A = this chain, B = another copy of it.
């Protein structure tokens, strides 16, 4: 049990991986500049109408997603580890400043706010292309299952398609 908890990509985890035809530095920029994040974070027809990033350990990673019906859902996470152009770790289990996150509120927070998770983004560049990996850790198998059923793969992959468009624009 203890070893399973620590094993990444085990039964508690979800992940996506894709090779992107762009250098890691452009992907990093698209991930860490709020103006760029607004252009890809929420899978269409949702949009991202707000984004605030304090790019340091303990710093804020805040987005506001707007539903097609026009309802806004703010989401605040805490950045944990940052290695420029290589690795970014953030969690929804902590608020900015490392404070344990408040309990989500029904009807106010997005359903996914009820599942604490940690996302580890890894960028590995090789010959101008970059292997883009996101590993999402949950506290248990139920958390992973719920996140998956909520449309994790569709959501993160659609957002990644949008991210790639942003990165291609940056590369021109």
Contact = CB atoms under 8 A, between A and B. Distances in A.
A6 interface: yes
Contact of A139 (B80, B103, B138): B103
Interface footprint category on A: 20 to 34
Interface string A76-92: 00001100000001011
A17 to B, nearest CB: 19
Interface in A62-81: 80-81
* Identical chains bound together, number: 2
24 contacts: A5-B97, A5-B99, A6-B95, A6-B99, A8-B97, A57-B81, A58-B80, A80-B80, A91-B94, A91-B98, A91-B100, A93-B94, A93-B101, A94-B118, A95-B139, A97-B137, A98-B120, A98-B137, A99-B118, A100-B116, A100-B137, A100-B139, A100-B143, A101-B139
